[in-house]
């Protein structure tokens, strides 16, 4: 008498096959050999092999979604997740390359990738921008810099599109926001510890300068951290305007106040401008929604509280005590005087703007090539003393010329318009929240992009674009398969 063996559940992992065992043994041997030379890389390889073995039965789409969420968190952590032996090899860069290779392999194996129409249009513009950037390597004076810039562009665009695809369902979008909220809480804790103790992370430019006021958190410098805070602020301020739940409103007010306080301590003028644009944009977008004018009252109250918190503080008073040095940094009158006298930070920025536009004109609008702006500025006869343009809009124009700038501008307008429309028309409160918050973050980015020395690898920008595309996907109904 014989009995049939019980059927194995679909997707369950069976016993390892002989080729798999051989591959595991070879991988373990390689990890052991590498550990002798580079212990950290050897351990990392062993962990990667272990993870791959455990996940071998996991469906590829589910694994891809997990990688996108992990890549977004790792992107915020940046170089803090790099091995000391290879400081350029961030955790994010490893994850995004694995994600890209996996997506290509999945499609080659006849896998199906569902791309909503609302995501496909901005993704196509990003793809065209990458292609143009790759073509510019041919006329760039420093081809290796152009190749690196193009690779970073592809990584950032891949993250943005991946987030847009991940947010096709409400539950996944909520989970992603929880992940991003957790890394935001960690960044705030690090910043608070910096302010309280004067110690900074090894990746900060203030490392070793004990007692320096202000925080750079996970971002290396105050301007980048301040810009990250400015892009995060709308996701708190919009909560009281969309939801009536007391807990969510308390989270919005508390998180918004914390974000504003930390932003003030950085002394970043570009972030302060971004905060102003976010507040004005909040009132404008809420006022434009004729069907829900009641939200304007809540939005007005939030905006008023933000103004009361910020304005007295930047004048040296208020409830946020700022050192005189920070108050001086936030003085726009000093900036205007510097521009007029061509001195200080304001004079350098004005000079960079003039020189950058001159480079575009000298190239007949073609641009100097991807990643070559700094190289060309340093080589100028009237070198302004700083190579980075400190202006993302200008960098896109100088490197990619008129074509690259138009492609980026078209992408920005399409995504901003789509997110704002989702925030106004969607029936689901969560979709309205995500659309309105991401649209306001993009509005803030108009001025916030003047803070970082370069934004090609600035993860919060790409994450903001991805969340905006996710809001568009959630609000839309059309889709196409690729």
Give 135 or 212, the one with higher predicted confidence.
Answer: 135
Q: What is the distance between the alpha carbons of residues 238 and 234, in angstroms, rounded to a whole number?
A: 6
| pLDDT band for position 109 (cuts 50, 70, 90) | confident
The average confidence (pLDDT) of the chain is 86
Q: What's phi and psi for 308, nearest 5 deg?
A: -65, -35
Q: Give tens-digit pLDDT for 388-423.
A: 899 999 999 999 999 999 999 999 999 999 999 999
Of 20, 16, 41, 18, nearest to 30 (Cα)?
41
Residue 9, pLDDT above cutoff 70: no
Residue 144, C-beta contacts closer than 8 angstroms, at least 6 positions apart: none
For 114, how many CA atoms within 13 A lie in the half-sphere containing its CB?
Answer: 10
Residue 271, pLDDT above cutoff 70: yes
In this prediction the pTM is 0.88
DSSP state of 209: -
At residue 244, the 3 state secondary structure works out as coil
Residue 101, C-beta contacts closer than 8 angstroms, at least 6 positions apart: none
Do residues 69 and 179 lie in contact, with contact meaning Cβ atoms separated by under 8 Å? yes
Give 85 or 434, the one with higher predicted confidence.
Answer: 434
Q: Give tens-digit pLDDT for 120-142.
A: 999 999 999 999 999 999 999 99
Do residues 43 and 35 lie in contact, with contact meaning Cβ atoms separated by under 8 Å? yes
What sign does the CA torsion over 101, 102, 108, 112 have?
A: negative
Q: What is the distance between the alpha carbons of residues 405 and 373, in angstroms, rounded to a whole number?
A: 14
Name the token pair of 368. Answer: 């100097």
Do residues 359 and 350 lie in contact, with contact meaning Cβ atoms separated by under 8 Å? no
Q: Give tens-digit pLDDT for 43-68.
A: 555 556 555 555 566 677 788 888 89
Q: Give tens-digit pLDDT for 70-108.
A: 999 999 999 888 877 677 778 899 889 888 888 888 888
Residue 465, pLDDT above cutoff 90: yes
| pLDDT band for position 442 (cuts 50, 70, 90) | very high
pLDDT of residue 121: 94
Residue 13, pLDDT above cutoff 50: no
At residue 162, the 3 state secondary structure works out as helix
Q: Which of 116-120, 198-202, 219-223, 270-274 has the lowest mean pLDDT?
A: 198-202
Q: What is the distance between the alpha carbons of residues 90 and 15, in angstroms, rounded to a whole number?
A: 34
Residue 433, pLDDT above cutoff 80: yes
Q: Give tens-digit pLDDT for 288-306.
A: 887 777 788 888 999 999 9
Residue 270, pLDDT above cutoff 80: yes
User: Bridge partners of 481?
Assistant: 114
The DSSP bridge pattern shows strands 114-116 and 479-481 to be antiparallel
């Amino acid at each position: 008498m014989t009995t049939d063996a019980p059927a194995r559940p679909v997707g369950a992992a069976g016993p390892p096959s002989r080729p798999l065992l051989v591959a595991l043994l070879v991988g373990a041997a390689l990890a052991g050999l590498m550990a002798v030379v580079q212990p950290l890389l050897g351990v990392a390889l062993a962990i990667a092999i272990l993870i791959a073995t455990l996940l071998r039965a996991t469906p590829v789409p589910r694994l891809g979604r997990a990688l996108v969420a992990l890549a977004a968190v790792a992107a915020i952590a940046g170089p803090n997740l790099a091995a000391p032996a290879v400081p350029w090899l961030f955790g994010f860069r490893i994850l995004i390359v694995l994600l890209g290779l996996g997506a290509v392999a999945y499609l080659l194996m006849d896998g199906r990738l569902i791309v909503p129409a609302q995501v496909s249009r901005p993704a196509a513009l990003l793809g065209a921008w990458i292609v143009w950037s790759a073509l510019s390597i041919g006329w760039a004076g420093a081809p290796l810099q152009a190749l690196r810039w193009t690779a970073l562009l592809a990584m950032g665009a891949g993250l943005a599109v991946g987030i847009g695809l991940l947010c096709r369902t409400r539950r996944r979008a909520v989970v992603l926001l929880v992940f991003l909220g957790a890394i935001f809480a960690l960044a705030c804790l690090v910043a608070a510890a910096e302010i309280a103790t004067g110690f900074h992370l090894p990746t900060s430019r203030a490392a070793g300068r004990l007692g320096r006021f202000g925080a750079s958190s996970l971002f290396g410098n105050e301007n980048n951290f301040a810009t990250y805070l400015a892009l995060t602020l709308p996701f708190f301020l919009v909560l009281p305007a969309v939801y009536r739940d007391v807990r969510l409103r308390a989270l919005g007010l508390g998180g918004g106040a914390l974000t504003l306080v930390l932003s003030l301590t950085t002394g970043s003028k570009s972030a302060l401008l971004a905060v102003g644009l976010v507040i004005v944009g909040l009132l404008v977008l809420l006022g434009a929604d004729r069907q829900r004018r009641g939200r304007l009252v809540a939005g007005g109250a939030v905006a008023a509280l933000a103004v009361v918190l910020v304005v007295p503080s930047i004048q040296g008073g208020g409830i946020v005590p700022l050192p005189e040095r920070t108050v001086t940094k936030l003085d726009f009158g000093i900036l205007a005087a510097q521009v007029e006298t061509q001195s200080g930070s304001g004079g350098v920025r004005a000079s960079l703007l003039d020189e950058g536009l001159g480079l575009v004109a000298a190239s007949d609008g073609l641009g100097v090539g991807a990643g070559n702006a700094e190289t060309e500025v340093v080589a100028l006869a009237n070198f302004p003393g700083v190579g980075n343009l400190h202006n993302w809009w200008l960098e896109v124009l100088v490197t990619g010329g008129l074509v690259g700038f138009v492609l980026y501008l078209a992408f920005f307008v399409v995504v901003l318009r789509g997110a704002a429309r989702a925030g106004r028309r969607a029936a689901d409160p969560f979709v309205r929240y995500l659309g309105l918050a991401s649209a306001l973050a993009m509005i803030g980015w108009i001025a916030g992009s003047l803070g970082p020395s370069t934004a090609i690898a600035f993860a919060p920008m790409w994450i903001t674009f991805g969340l905006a595309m996710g809001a568009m996907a959630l609000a839309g109904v059309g889709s196409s398969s690729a």
